[in-house]
Structure 1
């Protein structure tokens, strides 16, 4: 990697935007170490480049003055945007910049830089502080996020990312070289980074951390919030953090993306107490795992989650830690004291947060919790801050493996066929399971689709079903006999939906798997269309494309060209049981999101329909009953 601190220092002598002329107020403030310096590490060598350029333009609306200095390292890609940045022509590679009021000054052209190399981050921090000394420092890292695996995905460097260890070393070494003990504020303008694992790892590096539990819309933060620093150099970090968090919410609501947002500011000085409380809670769960595992499994299935996907191998498996601990404590009284202590510690650490209606009640911190060991990423074992929690997960999976065969789910229906009846709600599937499995059950779902001529089933969707709590051993799934369609105004396609509904949040979310073809592209990108709506009125509150990068393991809003094409995918199960995701149509729809229309069309009378009701225990053991019927 190219070392550039000497180049940056040399250019500072020549660039008025860096060193200023004699008597320049910004130079005098820097020399005396007053006010704030904000460093922006903008990993724009990804499909988020257009959004990140907009953020920098937004930040330049505040601009540097005698109270505030803004420096950025901006690494751009070759293919996603050719737009200039505040008069600076398009470029490929990285540049070290100073953001003025409505303008930008190039301090160094760095060429190709691997932003996933912690040395690049540490160099930028050390140089940025040396060139822009101040009393207070903030660092914002902006790009795709992946929760505990890290942040980034530099496409010119093999989708290189910064892991938590690399973030810690890169930031720590940069601060040490600059002679600064810690940052006042560390921010992740990226998806999914408000996790216990991240906050615990970053605790030695900053007083406060701002991040989102959920996927972030592409517009990200409102950088106009930093105006509080330009107005008053004595602004404290909590005032700044509250302005950023509240500004994010206001901008999301103005952009129509506020339904499922989260953003929290964490007091990293409180993370030692959270570490201790989580270790104690984890140990209590491990010690009592045989008794509490069924409760944990049920609560894991219903707790608020983030970065969901219909494909469990892509789902992030991030669960809200505060809500999970709280619900386990209510249902498992022998660990309630430890659960309460953890919830209290989290509440003390989360000093300010906002949530949209789809994330109502979010605690501000998530944690990794795959439902089964098969879905556990083996790299999680290397996360230093998660050793106690990882030990509990191991014991939990062992308890699931130890469920005796006679206590695993088994329906009693003859021939595996469900009892079936139609009513005003649609198709009802009823199964009766052996009560020996009742205490271990964690979830129930109903899936439904049309029977094709070759005997395969083309599934339209999956949604939660119910398990009776009266000791009857009955499970019930209801399908309303409609299929979701998406139209661009010219063509219409069926779509597969995964429905998530939270009674307390009073909103519902539909996740639709799609293939996105950029204009002129032969290959597609896997995308989720996330739609949040009011189930009472049917009004759509939020709709966003989110892309998953399998090379980097990161998520982010997809910048979809309106002239690109989307093709919804349906789950097809062949007669031999082989499952695959196939295009719903050979005609693509234009990807112009505001123009898309959604509907739920009743299935025509006479449609041959297959439906399947499944119950599963906390160990991942499951059984199903099915029915093949004709729509009346």
Structure 2
């Protein structure tokens, strides 16, 4: 059972101002000018349908979204119609003049108020028939020149969206969304939506865009995890006058970026506006690229492995079982094309058509260079979900993944990742500890990393972090890592605990991303028997270590994705560390038996130097593209 003191004294300091004496820096955004000519093709009146799956822990954020819609309201040129399914527990706030409710309501959004069209009762928003009927009814009862549908909740990339908690966490798979849209549109004789939006995490993927291309002209979605506030729906005001879909999509994109800047989380965002009418070209280019990779699987796999390890990824976690394994398709293809000349033409074509299809986008310092579409790519087959094989189409990508994993499994024993020494060579310097080791061959290596921890009395190791390391490709055969001999500590002004971190630095962008695994216990969980897995993501300036953004994401095991954590300040949040026993077995453990109060904005972070005399374990590892690993290690005493 978790025990806490009965009193607390928290300083009213924001966490963004506490880590390293923070100076909040603005994120850089990459945006392309959209066509704002209202007389262009498609300009006219709009019906915007919003499907709010708020029967989840994101309910408080979505009620703010509905209020934002009400700041615009329906008008002569714009009808805003919302299906809002509320939860029983997360929020009790009234919205637009309507008292709190549980279940679904169909609403007509007016300026400053909402008209209840129908009380739908205990509706399952994970049922594709419910979505189809909403589309049919919204278009039939609110005819317009243009139609937009925005689906809002947790997103999981190709597995789908949602997770209706009062309906056994039923979610909408990608196939179900496709079926629902086809059914709803066919019922009213409409060929396509003009704009389809996902105000949800991770939905700007090749798989989503390709599958739903027949259902809409434009897709607006994020490659990365979205902060809880989501989009700024006051941007719907752009449709109060005749505009085309690209103009409305770009207005929503700009509104999201501006709101993220106001909330201080602009460094980690993405949002892209994709022309789905150009997805046939992307399909063809990906099929050609995938086929070229399959034909050259064994030869090109080492290049692919290194490229994957260095490519921008989304929904990443220190625990590979909770990683979404989504990677930027444009960056990946470009990197492979540079190193593997025999597939460079196919890679260049794919990059070009992606750039053509992505009409507008925004990124931040931590997501700098995101091209607008991601793709599923687990680094090893053990993390690959067989459900992916049911997707249609996948542009030949699943065939490539099969060939890549087969090539990795066939690496000869003498050509696998292998150090030629059993112990690492360690040296101390003023700035920290260096560890190096010789390896046999760099031909198949994909990446190198270090991890470090404390040596416990029972011989087990309590790991406190992992970081990138480097390996030479010039024939010298040496890998090297560096540890600055500091550990991350988190405090609520009453208690302080150690935390495990995964640290990645993007030298081009000048930022460091820190991921911290945690567990959250609600105030009702007095015995500490149930909890939510949480990932704290912090972005810092790589040079000054000033914090740029920080967000707590809760892991949704049913959907296999993350959404911003809604925490009760009276709850408990506990960092987790990786414990490795003498027999090599690993498990994630809470760092203490009491944790910290989950008043998230006021938690404090600091990097603290290890005390002199601390017994430290340091491990340097290399891994090849087949997932074979080799390590050298050392046990040292901190001077």
When normalised by structure 1's length, the TM-score is: 0.93
- Match of 1:218, SS state, is coil
**Aligned partner (choices 216, 219, 223) of residue 229 of structure 2:** 219
Cα shift at 1:296: 0.2
**Aligned partner (choices 266, 281, 289) of residue 274 of structure 2:** 266
Cα shift at 1:426: 1.3
Please tell me whether residue 545 in structure 1 is matched to residue 579 in structure 2. no
Please tell me whether residue 210 in structure 1 is matched to residue 220 in structure 2. yes
Conservation of the 8 A alpha-carbon contact between 2:315 and 2:561: no
Instruction: Looking at secondary structure, tell me which structure has more helix per residue.
Output: 1
Instruction: Give unmatched runs, 5+ long, in structure 2.
Output: 1-42
When normalised by structure 2's length, the TM-score is: 0.92
Conservation of the 8 A alpha-carbon contact between 2:283 and 2:395: no
Cα shift at 1:291: 0.9
User: Who is 2:368 aligned against?
Assistant: 360
**Aligned partner (choices 154, 170, 185) of residue 160 of structure 1:** 170
Conservation of the 8 A alpha-carbon contact between 1:445 and 1:615: yes
User: Who is 2:24 aligned against?
Assistant: none
Conservation of the 8 A alpha-carbon contact between 1:264 and 1:350: yes
- Match of 1:400, SS state, is helix
- Match of 1:202, SS state, is helix
**Cα deviations by residue, 1:479-499 (Å, 9 ceiling, x for unpaired):** 111110011122111000000
Question: How do residues 540-619 of structure 1 correspond to structure 2 at under 5 angstroms?
Answer: 540-619=547-626
User: Who is 1:136 aligned against?
Assistant: 146
Instruction: Give unmatched runs, 5+ long, in structure 1.
Output: 1-32
User: Who is 1:4 aligned against?
Assistant: none
Please tell me whether residue 481 in structure 1 is matched to residue 485 in structure 2. yes
Distance in 2 between the 1:470 and 1:176 partners? 60
Question: How do residues 43-58 of structure 1 correspond to structure 2 at under 5 angstroms?
Answer: 43-58=53-68
User: Who is 2:193 aligned against?
Assistant: 183
User: Who is 1:472 aligned against?
Assistant: 476
Cα shift at 1:34: 6.2
Larger RCO: 1 or 2 (CA < 8 Å, sep 6+)? 2
Cα shift at 1:472: 1.2
Please tell me whether residue 296 in structure 1 is matched to residue 301 in structure 2. no
**Aligned partner (choices 437, 443, 456) of residue 452 of structure 1:** 456
Please tell me whether residue 405 in structure 1 is matched to residue 405 in structure 2. no
Please tell me whether residue 493 in structure 1 is matched to residue 500 in structure 2. no
User: Who is 1:101 aligned against?
Assistant: 111
Distance in 2 between the 1:564 and 1:538 partners? 29
**Cα deviations by residue, 1:253-272 (Å, 9 ceiling, x for unpaired):** 01101011000000000000
Conservation of the 8 A alpha-carbon contact between 2:163 and 2:170: yes
Question: How do residues 111-510 of structure 1 correspond to structure 2 at under 5 angstroms?
Answer: 111-230=121-240, 232=241, 234-386=242-394, 388-413=396-421, 416-435=422-441, 438-510=442-514
Distance in 2 between the 1:295 and 1:620 partners? 14
Distance in 2 between the 1:179 and 1:96 partners? 22
User: Who is 1:11 aligned against?
Assistant: none
Distance in 2 between the 1:417 and 1:408 partners? 18
Cα shift at 1:103: 0.4
User: Who is 1:68 aligned against?
Assistant: 78
**Cα deviations by residue, 1:235-281 (Å, 9 ceiling, x for unpaired):** 11111111111111011001101011000000000000000000000
Give structure 1 regions of 4+ aligned residues with deviation exceeding 4 angstroms.
Answer: none
Conservation of the 8 A alpha-carbon contact between 2:58 and 2:564: yes
- Match of 2:144, SS state, is coil
**Cα deviations by residue, 1:191-244 (Å, 9 ceiling, x for unpaired):** 0000000000110011110000000000000111111112x1x21111111111
Cα shift at 1:520: 2.4
Distance in 1 between the 2:255 and 2:92 partners? 28
Please tell me whether residue 528 in structure 1 is matched to residue 535 in structure 2. yes
Distance in 1 between the 2:539 and 2:393 partners? 33
- Match of 2:552, SS state, is strand
Conservation of the 8 A alpha-carbon contact between 2:287 and 2:396: yes
Conservation of the 8 A alpha-carbon contact between 2:500 and 2:577: yes
Conservation of the 8 A alpha-carbon contact between 2:290 and 2:395: no
User: Who is 1:24 aligned against?
Assistant: none
Distance in 2 between the 1:503 and 1:172 partners? 45
Cα shift at 1:295: 0.2
Conservation of the 8 A alpha-carbon contact between 1:257 and 1:542: yes
